[in-house]
């Protein structure tokens, strides 16, 4: 136990941060007494945070009207608007004759009542509470479905605010669990403050701290400037090639009045929108911060997201350096988190969309503490290699395994030994002729798959054995990742 | 602490290329049942007969006897090739239980060697199809959180498969940890 006043690493209230607040009724203001007898002024205190660990909770009541409203919009587009149309001699036109209006009103009222009922039903049906180490989610009014989720299985918590709900200051909390189907628990929607409280509470509980621990303070690491993001998205060979193709086809289209060139120009334009505009909107205002309860990301122009990845949940990362980016020294950081499956994996697998390489290296060091992947000596792959995606080199230290490959776009894949699931050695027919092999260090499904290709066969087997050995000692040292804060406190 | 590059090279010296797919450390591969190739052959035969019959019949109706005959010969040729290939595949399978992990080797076209730590096993499957059950065989499949792991040991005698599963489950439980 260090003497008091010493800065303590890890979780807990750090020096300089206000101590934990005691919860109770709002304090009466003792100041100047107002003239009216018996009247005491109560200053407008911020509402006390919702304590989710006590009692059963529901999502925000505004969810019900919001859902009803959504149903009504869908109804109007699909059925309501056609109801307003009447057939005329040359097609259909919108007309407001009494008969049509009456018909429309009756149908709308019925659907509206149904929509309100559905909204209420959904709102009343979803209840959740925290019981000990479990998050309990109850669904349904008549047929009740209860899910009990151990908090230690939480892989990440996202707070998402789609554009529509931002107007009403609502937010969605998504709890990501490891493994398989329905591994995501969405809470649609909570009040903005309540969402933050729930997130903090779940993370604190998962870390093994009492539920009313205040939100862990965070330290900003990097904010991606607009220029870097735009430049990074544009300065990629495929993007530039597509752009040139589009310009070329447009010139051809105008010069020779050849409309068929639209078949080239339009897909190229769509591709550009997908590759540049969409990520631009999605990753705008990208901010990375670290706090004891994990890495926090905030981003989004229309739909804002806040992701928290608790420590030890990042399985593998990949530093991606497209050819042109090496000029200004930029890199992208992709990541595999066990919680995100399928589509969400692709959506939330970027830890930094574009940043100077030094920042990326710093973030990797935060994700895998005590490492510097640039300092890991890489053994060059065999010269005889025939792999298209040119293998560059691979190396390892006590904590991480690093493999670099790529011809134009260079990727450096990094996995922590403690996170490796299995080690594989594969030899395909071409490699067998050349006496080479590939060593895979398997991570859970995701963008990042670590493999050292084109090693000499004997060396490859030696790498397999040494990696297995290191993984064993790393696992023994790191132990289970649940209740990380509580164990850190015990260790102290 | 960063390991010097030399350590990996020293390790390489300990593994001649010829022994890259040996279990190492004085262990020998546990082999799968010799009934396995027969299982594969019967399965191939069961599939080949209808393919040959239906194809030959259609060709005979449409074209002539020669085409039908060629079809049957073709199917037979594939059958003969697989007859031999199954033997090679059978010999490629092997597994060994080490102190902290299970190693499995397999593959003819692409040679594989998988090291699965006991602590990483999420669950162990034992499956047996109709034909397998009739021949008293089972397939043991190991699942980790990584989909790529895909460690499969087919053609184990049913009793041995059950014992292996129980041993793996016990060792996995002893060393289990989260993700």
Q: Please give the CATH number for the structural domain made up of A63-206.
A: 2.30.29
Q: DSSP character for A409?
A: S
Measured between beta carbons, which residues in chain A are less than 8 angstroms from residue B115? 422-424, 464, 468
Please state, in angstroms and rounded to a whole number, the distance separating the CA atoms of residues A44 and A36: 19
B26 and chain A: CB distance < 8 Å anywhere? no
Residue A384, number of CB atoms within 10 A of its CB: 12
| CB–CB contact B14 A462 (8 Å) | yes
Q: Is the pLDDT of residue B75 over 90?
A: yes
Distance, in angstroms, between B42 CA and closest chain A CA?
28
CA-nearest of A388, A349, A395, A426 to A404 is A395
Q: Is the pLDDT of residue B137 over 60?
A: yes
Could you tell me which chain B residue has the CA closest to the CA of A379?
B5
Any idea where the domains of chain B sit in the sequence? 36-89
Q: Is it true that the peptide bond before A189 is cis, omega within 30 degrees of 0?
A: yes
Please state, in angstroms and rounded to a whole number, the distance separating the CA atoms of residues B75 and B58: 15
Mean pLDDT of all residues in A312-340 = 86
Measured between beta carbons, which residues in chain B are less than 8 angstroms from residue A375? 2
pLDDT tens string A12-33: 445 555 554 444 444 455 555 4
Q: DSSP character for A214?
A: P
CA-nearest of A392, A447, A455 to A423 is A455
Tell whether ipTM is more than 0.90.
no
Poorest-pLDDT segment among A9-18, A188-197, A345-354: A9-18
Supply the pLDDT for residue A1: 43
Distance, in angstroms, between A189 CA and closest chain B CA?
29
How far, rounded to the nearest angstrom, does the alpha carbon of residue A305 sit from its chain's CA centroid? 8
Distance, in angstroms, between B157 CA and closest chain A CA?
26
Pull the structure tokens for residue A206: 């998962």
Measured between beta carbons, which residues in chain B are less than 8 angstroms from residue A437? 20
**Mean pLDDT over all residues of chain B?**
84
Measured between beta carbons, which residues in chain B are less than 8 angstroms from residue A315? 179
| CB–CB contact A458 B15 (8 Å) | yes
Please state, in angstroms and rounded to a whole number, the distance separating the CA atoms of residues B107 and B151: 11
Q: Is the pLDDT of residue A45 over 70?
A: no
Pull the structure tokens for residue A363: 């973030």
Please state, in angstroms and rounded to a whole number, the distance separating the CA atoms of residues B70 and A483: 68
Measured between beta carbons, which residues in chain B are less than 8 angstroms from residue A442? 144, 146, 148-149
pLDDT tens string A365-416: 888 888 888 888 888 888 888 777 788 889 988 889 999 998 888 999 999 9
B11 and chain A: CB distance < 8 Å anywhere? yes
Interface of A with B in 363-382 (CB under 8 A): 375-377, 379
Please state, in angstroms and rounded to a whole number, the distance separating the CA atoms of residues A437 and A448: 20
Q: Which of A314, A413, A422 to mutate to test the interface with B (most CBs of B within 10 A)?
A: A422
Structure confidence at residue A175 as a pLDDT band (50, 70, 90) = confident
Q: DSSP character for A153?
A: G
| CB–CB contact A458 B109 (8 Å) | no
| CB–CB contact A444 B145 (8 Å) | yes
SS3 content of chain A, % helix, strand, coil (to 5): 40, 30, 35
Q: Is the pLDDT of residue B1 over 50?
A: no
Q: Is the pLDDT of residue B96 over 90?
A: yes
CA-nearest of B138, B141, B170 to B155 is B138
Measured between beta carbons, which residues in chain B are less than 8 angstroms from residue A477? none
Q: Which residues contact A227 (CB under 8 A, 6 or more apart)?
A: none
Supply the pLDDT for residue A141: 80
Q: Which residue has the higher pLDDT, A278 or A345?
A: A278
| CB–CB contact A428 B110 (8 Å) | yes
Please state, in angstroms and rounded to a whole number, the distance separating the CA atoms of residues A359 and A221: 8
Q: Which residues contact A264 (CB under 8 A, 6 or more apart)?
A: A245, A246, A249
Q: Is the pLDDT of residue A5 over 60?
A: no
Supply the pLDDT for residue A320: 93
Structure confidence at residue B46 as a pLDDT band (50, 70, 90) = very high
Q: Which H/E stretch holds residue A429? A: helix A429-434
Any idea where the domains of chain A sit in the sequence? 63-206, 226-282, 309-486
């Amino acid at each position: 136990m260090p003497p008091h006043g010493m800065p303590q690493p890890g979780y807990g209230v750090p020096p300089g941060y206000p101590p934990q607040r005691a919860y109770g009724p709002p304090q009466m203001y003792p100041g100047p007494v107002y003239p009216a007898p018996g009247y005491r002024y109560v200053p407008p205190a911020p509402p006390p945070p919702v304590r989710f660990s006590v009692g059963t909770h529901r999502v925000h009541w505004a969810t019900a009207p919001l859902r009803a409203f959504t149903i009504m919009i869908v109804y109007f587009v699909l059925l309501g608007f056609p109801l307003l149309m009447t057939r005329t001699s040359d097609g259909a036109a919108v007309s407001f004759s009494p008969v049509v209006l009456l018909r429309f009103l009756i149908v709308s009222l019925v659907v509206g009542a149904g929509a309100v009922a559905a909204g209420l039903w959904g709102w009343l049906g979803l209840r959740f509470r925290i019981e000990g180490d479990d998050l309990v989610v109850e669904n349904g009014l008549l047929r009740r479905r209860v899910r009990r989720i151990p908090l230690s299985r939480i892989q990440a918590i996202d707070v998402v605010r789609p554009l529509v709900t931002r107007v009403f200051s609502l937010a969605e909390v998504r709890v990501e669990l490891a493994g398989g189907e329905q591994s995501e628990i969405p809470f649609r929607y909570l009040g903005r403050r309540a969402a933050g409280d729930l997130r903090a509470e779940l993370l604190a509980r998962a870390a093994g701290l009492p539920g009313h621990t205040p939100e862990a303070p965070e330290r900003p690491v990097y904010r991606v400037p607009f220029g870097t993001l735009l430049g990074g998205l544009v300065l990629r060979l495929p993007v530039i090639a597509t752009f040139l193709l589009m310009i070329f086809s447009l010139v051809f289209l105008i010069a020779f009045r050849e409309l068929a060139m639209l078949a080239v120009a339009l897909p190229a334009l769509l591709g550009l929108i997908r590759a540049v505009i969409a990520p631009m909107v999605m990753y705008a205002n990208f901010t990375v911060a670290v706090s004891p309860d994990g890495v926090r990301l905030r981003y989004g122009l229309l739909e804002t997201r806040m992701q928290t990845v608790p420590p030890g949940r990042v399985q593998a990362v990949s530093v991606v350096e497209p050819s042109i980016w090496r000029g200004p020294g930029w890199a992208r950081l992709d990541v595999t988190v066990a919680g995100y499956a399928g589509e969400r994996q692709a959506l939330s697998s970027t830890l930094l969309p574009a940043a100077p390489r030094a920042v990326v290296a710093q973030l990797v060091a935060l994700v895998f503490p005590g490492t510097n992947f640039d300092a890991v000596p890489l053994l060059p792959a065999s010269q005889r290699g025939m792999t298209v995606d040119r293998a560059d080199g691979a190396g390892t230290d006590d904590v991480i395994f690093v493999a670099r490959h790529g011809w134009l776009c260079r990727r450096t894949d990094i996995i922590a030994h403690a996170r490796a699931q299995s080690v594989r050695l594969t030899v395909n027919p071409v490699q067998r002729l050349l006496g080479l092999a590939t060593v895979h260090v398997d991570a859970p499904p995701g963008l990042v798959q670590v493999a050292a290709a084109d090693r000499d066969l004997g060396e490859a087997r030696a790498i397999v054995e040494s990696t297995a050995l290191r993984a064993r000692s790393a696992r023994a040292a790191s132990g289970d990742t649940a209740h990380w804060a509580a164990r850190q406190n015990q260790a102290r | 602490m960063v390991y010097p590059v030399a350590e990996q090279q020293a390790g390489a010296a300990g593994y001649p290329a010829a022994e890259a797919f040996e279990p190492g450390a004085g262990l020998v591969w546990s082999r799968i049942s010799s009934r396995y190739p027969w299982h594969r052959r019967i399965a191939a035969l069961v599939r080949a007969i209808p393919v040959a019959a239906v194809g030959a019949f259609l060709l005979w109706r449409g074209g002539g006897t020669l085409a039908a005959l060629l079809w049957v010969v073709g199917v037979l040729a594939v059958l003969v090739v697989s007859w031999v290939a199954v033997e090679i595949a059978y010999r490629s399978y092997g597994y060994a239980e080490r102190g902290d992990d299970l190693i499995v080797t397999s593959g003819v076209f692409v040679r594989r060697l998988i090291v699965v730590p006991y602590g990483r096993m999420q669950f162990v499957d034992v499956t047996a199809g109709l034909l397998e059950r009739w021949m008293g065989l089972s397939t043991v499949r190991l699942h980790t959180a990584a989909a790529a792991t895909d460690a499969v040991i087919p053609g184990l005698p049913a009793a041995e498969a059950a014992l292996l599963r129980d041993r793996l489950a016990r060792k996995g439980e002893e060393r289990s940890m989260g993700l």
